[in-house]
Structure 1
């Protein structure tokens, strides 16, 4: 839990991902196309993978990956990110968290 909280506190946008997860890949591509290269933590490359998954679930993630945090706050997984993107709110959140410097 400490590792997750530390990573989220240190960066504007964090995606907890698994390298083989197609939904994680889609979220990473979307944020990249919006002009931001988020910090991606591939939990399957960490020996504490199971503990990180449990910590993410305890924090409220419906699925362990992808888990997206913006401005230190859990935003959610693929469905939440795509819904925010379609409504135009994702870019606003990124700008407000100072993850993006340009205003839309």
Structure 2
């Protein structure tokens, strides 16, 4: 146990892995995508790897790798890190959606996203548009949108902090004359006289 404590104390982010474990490498890539530099110990390539693996199993790591420590605290394995990552992405998504009455998540190459934006702007609304292929945490936001049920992930339209959906849902609201009242309730537009 002391050997794990000693290795974890040296760096802010430590991942215990095996060179053949693709999940360990995926978790390391995910952590690096946030800008963190993790120290990776490949248990099958270091002399005391079996001893460390036994200590990790005693800590409750099932399976033994990946085992992630952040700030000397044991976070868990792949499932725990992915769950934590999704929660962070959901928090970011909530903050972005709370900023404006209308928020559209888009990709710079998505013509449907641009069409939905044009439709909403035609009523006088000024949506916040986040092109997830151009912002630093875009991949995490896209995973959160997929988790919320956006298929495809873009366009994803929020009106009044509520997920409306994609292009089909927005167009359905427009056809049923429900889009403008929704924009008015969200205070994205004040009045609409149809001109």
Q: Post-superposition shift, 1:48? A: 2.1
Q: State the alpha-carbon separation in 2 of the partners of residues 102 and 47 from structure 1.
A: 36
Q: State the alpha-carbon separation in 2 of the partners of residues 66 and 8 from structure 1.
A: 14
Q: State the alpha-carbon separation in 1 of the partners of residues 192 and 167 from structure 2.
A: 23
Q: Post-superposition shift, 1:82? A: 0.5
Q: Which runs of 5+ in 1 are unaligned?
A: none
- RMSD (Å), alpha carbons: 1.1
| TM value normalised by structure 1 | 0.94
Taking CA–CA contacts closer than 8 Å with sequence separation of 6 or more, which of the two structures ends up with the larger relative contact order? 1
Q: Which runs of 5+ in 2 are unaligned?
A: 1-89
Higher radius of gyration, 1 or 2? 2
Question: After the TM superposition, which parts of structure 1 deviate over 3 Å for at least 4 consecutive aligned residues?
Answer: none
Partner of 1:57: 146
Q: Match of 1:69, SS?
A: strand
| TM value normalised by structure 2 | 0.51
User: What are the residue-to-residue correspondences of 1:1-104 with 2, within 5 Å?
Assistant: 1-104=90-193
Structure 2 CA distance for partners of 1:103 and 1:29, relative to 1, 3 Å: closer
